[in-house]
């Protein structure tokens, strides 16, 4: 078609039709795609705003939750000092020996005894032999009783330095002039551990029971 052959009215009509078709094509190829993207972004924004609004309700509780978490961590640290989760036997003996020196008591020996495993902790006993002045020994027991770590003293036997065998002392030493008593006892410390699964009745863990 030669546009030059068309009259003014027809030419105007053709140009209008071409403009309408071009606008429609532009709408479906560009404008509609952009509108769909805007609608999707608006939905995502509204969803994020709803999520933020829900989380905002927890803001006043956040400081309280942080304080509770800090308190729980502090309690856990205290419990680990009272009942450690590892068998740090050397540290236990150094701790008891340090209290003995502060009290003026001489520890002569530690003799380990069989350990006893419980559900959540293990008992680790030691027979301890020591000597010193009577009141110094009382001070030693008072110090041990105030230790942060749990130490249970049992089977206490006390005798004079002249007859240490009455306290079941293994050996006689050259006692200092101010020493008056010799003693032995069982000092038990404790270590925490995870609870082990129960064993199958009549057999070892992981093995079937024997009939």
Q: If we measure between CA atoms, which residue out of 100, 190, 193 comes closest to residue 148?
A: 190
Provide, rounded to the nearest whole percent, the portion of the chain with pLDDT above 90: 33
Q: How many domains does the chain have?
A: 1
d(CA 197, CA 210): 19
Is 100 inside any structural domain? yes
Show Cβ contacts of residue 52 under 8 Å, excluding neighbours closer than 6 positions. none
Q: What would the DSSP string read from start to end of 127-190? A: EEEEEE-HHHHHHHHHHHHT-SS-EEEEEEEEEETT-GGGGT-SS-----TT--EEEEEEEEEE
Instruction: Check residue 156 and give its pLDDT.
Output: 94
Is 104 inside any structural domain? yes
- In which band, very low, low, confident or very high, does the pLDDT at 3 lie, cut at 50, 70 and 90? very low
Contacts 24+ apart (CB under 8 A), 153-157: 153/185, 153/186, 153/187, 153/188, 154/185, 154/186, 154/188, 155/184, 155/185, 155/186, 156/183, 156/184, 156/185, 157/183, 157/184, 157/185
Mean pLDDT (whole number) for 27-32: 61
Q: Regarding predicted confidence, which is higher, 25 or 178?
A: 178
Mean pLDDT (whole number) for 136-143: 94
Partners of 143 in the β-ladder: none
pTM here is 0.55
Is 135 inside any structural domain? yes
d(CA 26, CA 90): 84
Is 98 inside any structural domain? yes
d(CA 108, CA 97): 10
Is 129 inside any structural domain? yes
- Which CATH number characterizes residue 143's domain? 3.30.70.60
- What's the domain range around 157? 89-192
Cβ neighbourhood burial of 148 (10 Å; 0-12, 13-18, 19+): exposed
Q: Regarding predicted confidence, which is higher, 63 or 114?
A: 114
Mean pLDDT (whole number) for 116-128: 86
pLDDT tens-digit readout, 47-63: 877 777 777 776 777 77
- In which band, very low, low, confident or very high, does the pLDDT at 142 lie, cut at 50, 70 and 90? very high
Is 19 inside any structural domain? no
Instruction: Check residue 20 and give its pLDDT.
Output: 63
Encoding tokens for residue 141?
């027991």
Is 206 inside any structural domain? no
Mean pLDDT (whole number) for 115-124: 83
Mean pLDDT (whole number) for 73-93: 65
What mean pLDDT is reported for the chain? 77
Highest mean pLDDT pick, 71-85, 97-111, 137-151 = 97-111
Instruction: Check residue 18 and give its pLDDT.
Output: 62
> Does residue 141 carry a pLDDT above 50?
yes
Helix/strand/coil for 85:
coil
Instruction: Check residue 13 and give its pLDDT.
Output: 64
Is 59 inside any structural domain? no
Partners of 190 in the β-ladder: 123
> Does residue 195 carry a pLDDT above 60?
no
d(CA 119, CA 136): 37
């Amino acid at each position: 078609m030669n546009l030059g052959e068309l009259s003014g009215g027809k030419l105007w009509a053709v140009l209008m039709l071409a403009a309408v078709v071009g606008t429609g094509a532009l709408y479906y190829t560009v404008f509609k795609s952009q509108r769909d993207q805007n609608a999707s972004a608006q939905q995502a924004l509204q969803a994020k705003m709803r999520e933020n609004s829900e989380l905002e309700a927890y803001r006043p509780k956040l400081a309280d939750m942080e304080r509770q978490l800090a308190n729980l961590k502090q309690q856990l640290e205290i419990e680990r000092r009272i009942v450690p989760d590892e068998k740090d036997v050397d540290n236990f003996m150094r701790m008891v020996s340090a209290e003995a020196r502060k009290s003026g008591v001489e520890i002569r020996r530690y003799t380990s005894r069989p350990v006893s495993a419980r559900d959540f902790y293990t008992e680790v006993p030691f027979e301890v032999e020591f000597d010193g002045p009577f009141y110094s020994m009382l001070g030693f027991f008072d110090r041990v009783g105030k230790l942060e770590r749990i130490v249970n003293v049992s089977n206490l036997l006390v005798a004079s330095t002249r007859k240490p065998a009455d306290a079941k002392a293994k050996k006689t030493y050259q006692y200092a002039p101010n020493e008056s008593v010799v003693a032995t006892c069982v000092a038990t410390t404790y270590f925490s551990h995870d609870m082990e699964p129960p064993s199958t009745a009549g057999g070892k863990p992981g093995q079937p029971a024997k009939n």
